[in-house]
Structure 1
Amino acid sequence: MKIALLGYGKMGKTIEALAIKRGHTIVLKCDNASDIDFKDADIAIDFSVPGAAFNNITTCFKNNIPVVSGTTGWLERYNDAVTLCQANHGAFIYASNFSLGVNVFFELNKTLAKMMSNLKAYNVELEEIHHTQKLDAPSGTAITLAEGIIANHQNYTQWELDTAGANTLPIRAKRIDAVPGTHSIAYMSDVDRIEIKHTAHSREGFALGALVAAEWLLDKKGVFTMKDVLNIG
């Protein structure tokens, strides 16, 4: 598989190293896909920055290049990207987190929210911790977790950063140097606490998931998620 890397920061470099180990070739490395010649690429993997992601993704569609994107902070334009993908008969996977373990954690989170929905004594709090270089807060992973709770728990209709209230799920975001990513959901009552947590030990788990997604997406058409890739949920 010949890969164009859109975004060559720490994640891009981790993907490059793992891709080579898996027998793939990196044919292009850039931060902005405008005016880039994709002729040697089979697929693109985008881990750029929020301001560049939409342009990178849609440029791939226009060049008939399947694209896997893990950039967060641009999702106000996600539906536009889906529309453009479909109009160009492209192939697209976006995930707020490509870690295989996190995607299992997403489903566990939904199941627990359903189980806890009728237990009025419990309040929910979501916390995420990332390295200080992370540009967006809360993380895309935390937002996905919050949306999973809201869809499956009758007490919550919205989330807010650092704010709790009636029908509002609070997300606490912390930035600590050298933390790849930790997400926890706690259900708290006066008598006990139930908590689930995912802790990433390195970026390699995210890189592996992105490459697995790219390998799966190659030669397909349409808009997919990691649930399709892993056949879960």
Structure 2
Amino acid sequence: MAKAEKRAVHMKGIRSRILKTAENLFLEQGYKTTTIRQIVQDSGITSGSIYNIYEDKEHLFAALIDEFLNDAANRVGEALEDRTPEQRLVGFIAMELYSVEKSPVIREMMYAAHSSPLIMESVIENHAYLAREIWDARRHTKIESLSTALLLSEGAVASYVLCFDFSEKLDYSAIRKRVMFSILRTLGLDTRETNKLIAYMEENKDLWLSLADQVLHHSEEIKA
């Protein structure tokens, strides 16, 4: 193996170890509490090596979120291979919504992601990958682009994340359905299609949570 290839393999191993360590810490204690110093201590990688790859904690977190999103899209694609593009998109978003409801740590991470323009650009790109076929099959008169539609859709998801921190306990199930309704209608689906897909989402809650759990612990699968 050439020297350049050895270095590339070495750097890939360092990056993998950093991301796995960061993933464990983020999932254990959230984004805000986790520090680069903790990642250094737990990974055994020097801070200089980490900053050589990632500009700061936000960029490291963005790389991890990107891995989560890619893994989620692949798992949804495999699990719903025989389903429609609309159902696959619903499954992808439902994984996020049900995970937010289940875990305070995921809520905190989702809030951090939605507060970062850097991360939101990646989120929109990943959603566009799944939504493009749906978008192109419909006529749109009020919204100029898919990116605009997805940005508005992420605003709906962000509102769902925030509602769990209200002092008053709300009807999360109703809000979740309303969020999905808003997303699908923004993408151009009619009310009848949308309501059928919301029912599909609710009927398959266990599947979405199972897929989300696999994504959040994918590093353990690789290790095994």
**Interval containing the TM-score (normalised by the shorter chain):** 0.3 to 0.5
What TM-score do the two structures reach when normalised by structure 2?
Answer: 0.38
What TM-score do the two structures reach when normalised by structure 1?
Answer: 0.37
Query: Greater helix percent: which structure?
Result: 2
